[in-house]
Amino acid sequence: MAAHTEAQIRRAIKPLLTVYGELNTSEVKKLLHTVLEFSEEDNIPSTTRNEVLIIQRIGNIVAHQQETRKVYDEGFVLDKSSRPAKFSLLNPISQAVIPPAEITTIKEKTRRFIARKVDWEKARDRNNEIGDQGEEFILEFEIDRLIEVLSIDRISAIQNVQHLSRLQGDGLGYDISSINDCGSPRYIEVKTTSGGFNQPFYMSKNEKNFFEEYGDSAFIYRVYNFNRETRHGDVTIITQNELFTNFNFDTITWQVTPK
């Protein structure tokens, strides 16, 4: 695997900001490995700094920015007036950075929810081919939802919907990042079955903990009657309140079924 470019690194920073709200350069350097799998070339020591090349490239993103403050298409603002420079999550509707009070709330939730890099129940779910296909289906579904609900063009919708890699999803606790109608982060966990709505799906303890912490921002996109050939199915969006009110959790098998 080749070394990651600055553009790819910027793309990976956005998922970090959805669960931290705001990070300085040092914090991004410390956390990037949780959402991006470093290649051998990434880990080559720099000849000019006491760090590996991919970490140096984070600093290069800051250094190469000519403006003091710049809004990036990836969905964040980089402010160089702070020392170290500060990356802040952008509300794509208001085009303003997330307010300090909201950032504090996001960080408190993240401190309580210590996401595991390896979640064995999650790994079992992701190894299921139908699960991967369901996530790809929901990626397009969510893009179309934003186009309709927010009356935005497809390019803008695509910029605000990100399918996390397996490493990112296992580390952050959800599958797809999007935005709510007000522009705040929306965390989507996709659960896909070929059978009907009442067919059980799996939800790991890690995922359940995530929903307990992130409340109104977390949603199950329940895909059922999924056809592997057409790669389409029926979709029901389940809120956190509906999940814990209308479904039973088996803590031995981690199966979830409607009451």
| pLDDT at 125 exceeding the cut of 70 | no
pLDDT value for 123: 47
- What is the H or E stretch that residue 152 is in? none
**Phi, psi (degrees; rounded to nearest 5) at 34:** -75, -15
pLDDT value for 207: 86
Q: C-alpha 159: how far from its chain's center?
A: 13
Strands (E), the chain: 22-24, 69-72, 76-79, 86-91, 96-97, 162-163, 176-179, 185-192, 201-202, 218-227, 232-239, 247-249, 255-258
pLDDT value for 55: 96
Rounded to whole angstroms, the Cα distance separating 86 from 61 reads: 12
Strands 176-179 and 255-258: unpaired
What is the amino acid identity at position 73? D
> Per-residue pLDDT tens for 193-248?
999 999 999 888 888 888 998 988 999 999 999 999 999 999 999 999 999 999 99
Please identify which residue in the block is written with the tokens 């063009």.
153
Residue 188 structure tokens: 């989507």
| pLDDT at 164 exceeding the cut of 90 | no
Q: What is the pTM of this model?
A: 0.83
> Per-residue pLDDT tens for 67-118?
999 999 999 999 999 999 999 999 998 889 989 998 998 888 888 775 444 4
**Would you call 82 exposed, middle or buried from its count of C-beta atoms within 10 A (0-12, 13-18, 19+)?**
middle
At 175, is the secondary structure helix, strand, or coil? coil
**Phi, psi (degrees; rounded to nearest 5) at 20:** -125, -20
Q: Are 193 and 112 in contact (CB under 8 A)?
A: no
